[in-house]
Amino acid sequence: MEKSNSRVEAIKEVEGFFLTIKDKSSREVKKIKTLAMRDNIPLGEKRKSFCKKCFAPYGKSKVRVKNGIKSYTCENCSFVSLWRIK
């Protein structure tokens, strides 16, 4: 089965977006995430680069590591995201 052109273009757009996520707004991040979900594109490690709640990119957020768990505290909404370190 061939992949459609729109899906291939969407993959290129998502990849290009995450190259420079630090200077993006939360609205742009939400649009790209919606595009990825619509075309069933897995974000994988890229989803760790923005807040789960307000979609703001992690710039100067507070990062802590304890007992194999990395926690990011969002500077906008103060939401704490926990990620297991492999």
Enumerate the domain spans of the chain: 1-42, 58-86
Q: Contact, 76 vs 54, CB < 8 A?
A: yes
Distance CA 9, CA 24 (A): 20
- Enter the DSSP assignment of 69: E
| Location of structure tokens 């595009």 | 35
pLDDT band at 1 (very low <50, low <70, confident <90, very high): very low
The count of residues in the chain is 86
Inter-CA distances, 13 with 16, 35, 39, 42, Å: 5, 9, 12, 13
In tens, the pLDDT along 32-76 reads 999 999 999 999 999 999 999 999 988 778 999 999 999 999 998
